[in-house]
Amino acid sequence: MEAVIQEIFSPVWLILGISRAVHSRLWLDLIAEVRKSRFAGFFMGVSALPVGLLLIVGHNQWVLD
């Protein structure tokens, strides 16, 4: 499962990083618009929740050293 997560997230983060570098002004405008909204915190939480859940479910082995 960890390899699947790696294969999914690696290209996504690479594309997002390139997009952020190439279109930095558009990203800043987007973040400014989201921050103006009353629902900015909700939007950020809802968008991060599936990613976090996928990472937690993907780690099937939890070891406390």
pLDDT tens across 12-23, in order?
889 989 999 999
Domain ranges of the chain: 2-58
d(CA 19, CA 16): 5
Which residue type occupies 5? I
More confident residue, 8 or 27: 27
Q: Give the pLDDT score at 20.
A: 92
Contact 56, 2 (CB under 8 A): no
Per-residue confidence at 1, pLDDT binned at 50, 70, 90? low
